Chains A and B, each alone.
Chain A
């Protein structure tokens, strides 16, 4: 197995690895900031909003790349159940990388906060001020955030099984090299 058809398109790979770093950083920042009342709280929150919005923009670009570039086929000998799990988990990952920042933006809007990207630059609200809506969206942002982390753990585990045990080209299709 070799050649361009067995790899994700270059833009897809670039986006995948850039966003992998950003999303993992966002999960650590999010969990870290709510755990503390030290100066790290406002400092991390100030990074959290613009990084989150950057992820939203990149995710939309990535969706466009995904719809216009055919991904390499999964190995023919992959059991159907695993192939289905791969498909479903990838849909969920896309859904979460778009939904998480949208929920963040929507909840800050509903909470009556200025959605500050950086000092002096605020985004327009995407929901009217409604404290109960804030309450539910804030809870959803937390729950989905931790679900996102678990899903990513499963995804990385599966990728490493492909790369280290099955050595079937799936890992290389995204990494560009390796098993």
Chain B
């Protein structure tokens, strides 16, 4: 610099430069964009919907049971994806059964998601994590709708019940959510964790050894014959009956599911989890999941994992479904909150029901 700036001008210039950098940082961090949704905003919406935070617990699917076992791949999956899960052989699995909702002590007799989360430990430190529900579709298509739906269901401080008018107002603009609720009302609820089918719901992409990529969904279909709960007597069931049933069944013998990969047909939407793909799809049975052990969250080894659906191995990538990145960010926000709060004894442990095995 040849000519000196006057100090006052130079100071202004310096302040301006620093101010611009700080402003750019504030923009990047979203502090200038109150409407940008981050993982924390979703965790807040879930807490508000519950009416109170439940420190130490998952902000969704709080009530769970740890399971473990293995996956026997039959080798057919290698034609679809080069994921290390698919060559014929055995891969160890950690899993978690859970029920939808943020209340860790809620009764099992509710018409909510029955869920299975899995963590496959692949060679070379790779992992594949999944979190699946017993429905083939989801109530909302976007993270913004997810937040709106949670907010519409926030309990009124006076009545401790959601305001039906708010829910109606939300549903009026969201036929897909209405369709999901109608589906939930009429669809049978599996009588046990053992005989439910668990769906990826979101679409993913499989990439094969040649680099070809295809859109898929997948589902775990049980070997145990399906039986439905009587929805009229749900309230009368003991609080932990589904989890106690799972513990009891697993102490008697293993549970098995087939992993069925469903290939998208041309025209199938991959970016909208509220739309089922329907019938007439190529289905590939890529192997058998065997779960042979169960333990309460306190005694088992599943509680302290984040079953983030975007922890994926080579050969599997996210689709363009906006729920997938939202899930990853929201699970991470929930995980960092419950981590620092510290885990608490689960319902079964509190009730002394964990010793069934």
Complex CA gap A20/B130 in Å reads 38
Decide: B29 and A132 in contact? CB cutoff 8 A: no
Assuming A31-B29, A41-B329, A114-B127, is B339 touching A134 (CB within 8 A)? yes
Given A27-B25, A42-B328, A156-B21, is A36 in contact with B37 using a C-beta cutoff of 8 Å? yes
Whole-angstrom distance between the alpha carbons of A135 and B310 in the complex?
20
Q: How large is the interface on A (under 10, 10 to 19, 20 to 34, 35 or more residues)?
A: 35 or more
Residues of chain B within 8 A of A161, CB atoms compared: 14
Bound-state CA distance A51–B36 (Å) is 25
Complex formed: what's the CA distance from A124 to B125 in Å?
8
- Asked if B339 and A132 sit within 8 Å, CB to CB, the answer is yes
Shortest CB–CB separation between residue B233 and chain A, in angstroms? 37
- Chain A 143-175: CB-based contact to B (< 8 A → 1; otherwise 0): 000000100010011001101110100000000
Using Cβ atoms and an 8 Å threshold, which residues of chain A touch B14? 157, 160-161, 164-165
Q: Is the CB of B314 within 8 A of A39?
A: no
Select which of A120, A132, A179 is within 8 A of B124 by beta carbon.
A120
Inter-chain contact B340/A122, CB cutoff 8 Å: no
Q: Does B235 contact A (CB under 8 A)?
A: no
A67-91 interface (Cβ within 8 A of B): none
Q: CA–CA, A139 to B314, complex, Å? A: 30
Contacts of A130 in B (CB 8 A): 304
Q: Which residues of B contact A156 (CB under 8 A)?
A: 17-18, 21
In the complex, which residues 131-151 of chain B have their Cβ closer than 8 Å to any Cβ of chain A? 143
Interface mask (B1-20 → A, CB under 8 Å = 1, otherwise 0):
10011010011011001100
CB distance from A23 to the nearest CB of B (A): 13
Residues of chain A within 8 A (CB-CB) of B306 are: 111-113
Tell whether A1 is near chain B: CB-to-CB under 8 Å: no
How long is the Cα–Cα vector from A164 to B10 in the complex, in angstroms?
6
A129 nearest in chain B by CB position: B304
User: Is B238 in contact with chain A by the CB < 8 A criterion?
Assistant: no
Tell whether A138 is near chain B: CB-to-CB under 8 Å. Answer: yes
Chain A residues contacting B314 (CB-CB under 8 Å) are 119-120
Given contacts A112-B305, A139-B340, A178-B1, contact A35 B29 (CB under 8 A): yes
Across-interface contacts of B356 in A (CB, < 8 A) = none
B234, CB-defined interface residue at 8 Å: no
Residues from chain A with Cβ under 8 Å of B143 in the complex:
37
9 contacts between A and B (CB under 8 A): A32-B28, A32-B30, A35-B29, A39-B318, A119-B313, A122-B124, A122-B125, A139-B336, A149-B25
Nearest first, the 7 closest Cβ-Cβ pairs linking A and B are: A135-B340, A35-B30, A135-B339, A31-B29, A122-B125, A37-B326, A131-B304
Starting from the known contacts A38-B326, A42-B328, A179-B1, 7 additional A-B residue pairs (CB-CB under 8 Å) come to A35-B29, A42-B324, A114-B126, A120-B126, A135-B339, A157-B18, A160-B14
